[in-house]
Structure formats: C-alpha cells, structure tokens
Amino acid sequence: MKRTWFIFKVIFILLVVTLAMLPVILSSHPWPVASRDYLYENALSDTGAVNTVSSIYLGYRAMDTLGETLVLLVSITGTMGILINLGRESEEEEAVSFSLAPEKRATNAQRTHLLEVVASKLGPVVLLFGFYVMLYGHISPGGGFQGGVIVASAIVFLALGTETQSKLTNTTVLGRIETLSFLVLIIVATSGVFFERGFFGNPIKSGSSLSVNFIILLNIIIGLKVGTSIAVMCIAMMGGRHGH
C-alpha cells in the first residue's frame, strides 16, 4: 500500500511539472533579452558590483531580498516556537555519554572525542571562509545569504567542538546580534529616502567608486542576520539552551 501511494505521488508530481513546463516548451515567443542586455551593460556602473547577481538582489531587486529575509525570520520564529513547546511537553531524559568526562553541556551526550577534535579545528576555518564569502560577494559568487549559512555552520562546529559554551555559541548573544542586524538592515534600507533615492536606494552616487560599499554593507548585515538566526535554531535542535 505504501509503495503504491509513493508511486502515485511521483507520477502526480511529474505530471504537474510537465503541464507547467509545456507552455514554455511549445511557445514560439522569443526569450526577452532587453533586461538581460541592460543589466550586462549597466549593472557595474549603476551599483559598482562586478558580480551582476549581487547588483540585482541588492540593487535593482533589493525589496525581494527584504522579503526573503522576512520569510527566514518567520520560519526561524515558528521553528523555535515548536521546539520550545516540545521541550515543555517532553520529559528530560538522561542520555548515555560517549564523550570525555566531565561533560558540561546537554549536547555533549551526542559527541565523541573525535568529533570534538575535528569540529574544534574546522570551526575557525569555516568561520573565516564564511566572512570571506560575505565580504567579497560583490566581486565573486557569494554574498550575505551564502556567507551567513557558512557562518552558521562554523558556529555549529564550534558548539560541537568545545566543552563549555562561549559567547559565540551562546544563543542569547546570537539572538541579540540577529535582532540588531535586522534593525540595522531597516535603517540602512531607509537611508536612501533621505537622499531622494527611495527605499533601499543606494545613498551613494551611482558611478562613484564608493557606491559598491553600500552593497558590501548590505551583504555584511544580511550575513550576520542569516548566520545568527540559523545558528540559534541549530543549537536549539542540538539541545542547547538560552543563557548558558
């Protein structure tokens, strides 16, 4: 019965995808190239970003980026709410630890000595790489979202690789950074209004060598927001608690 239901779902999904793609495949209408050509010719001069993707999602379509940030915020908030309710309903059970004694955190029951050593060494390297991707997203593939996810991975490595919790893995501190980052994002987005550039407009004059600094700043803010929010959720799923 389960196998039949699985096959039915696969066939249904393939049918929906086929019907959705059919008009595109059968259409004789040429692909629009005006927007593509405009971005290819003017993206660098308008925003200062060599990476055209960054010039789009932090320049021409920055409002979409704000929407994606809000979606992430709502998703993390909902997930944390579910985790908190599950924690209240379930009885805390003592797990058998396979890692070195004495253990000082609830998540240590899931760790081994090998995991501690590898994670503690990888954490700083991954953290540095995450900030690199975040800071140089205007030049090469990357940016705030990608760099933020890498930073979150580094924080998880550090949480797994250390016996005691530091400020970098403290969910209370990470939550404050997340809140501050979102507040700064709104302030920076509003700054363009005072220079007659509109909401999320670049307050620095287009064509200036400094105009790209606005995109760099947005990448940093978004990276911190994404990194801390995902890190808080992951640490909570691992059994971490606020205020440790």
pLDDT tens string 26-48? 777 777 788 888 888 888 888 88
The reported pLDDT for the residue numbered 244 is 41
Q: Residue 242: what pLDDT?
A: 41
Domain assignment present for residue 208? The answer is yes
Angle between helices 212-237 and 34-47 (to 10 degrees): 100
Residues lower than pLDDT 70 in the chain? 1, 87-112, 163-165, 205-209, 240-244
Q: What is the pLDDT of residue 132?
A: 95
Task: Report the C-alpha gap between 138 and 48 in whole angstroms.
Answer: 8
How high is the pLDDT of residue 96? Answer: 43
Whether 60 is in a domain gets the answer yes
pLDDT value of residue 95: 45
CA distance 39 to 60: 9
Tokens matching residue 1: 């019965």
How many other C-beta atoms can be found within 10 angstroms of the C-beta atom of residue 4? 8
In a domain? residue 132: yes
How far apart, in Å, are the Cα atoms of 121 and each of 55, 114, 242?
A: 35, 11, 25
- In a domain, residue 128? The reply is yes
Structural domain contains residue 174 = yes
pLDDT of residue 224: 94
Cα–Cα dist 28/82, whole Å = 49
96 domain-assigned: no
In a domain, 11, yes or no: no
As for how many domains the chain has, the answer is 1
Nearest C-alpha neighbor of 98 from the set 89, 107, 87, 86:
107
- What is the rounded CA–CA span in Å between residue 148 and residue 130? 7
Kindly state whether residue 222 falls inside one of the protein's structural domains.
yes
User: The domain containing residue 223 runs over which residues?
Assistant: 48-79+113-244
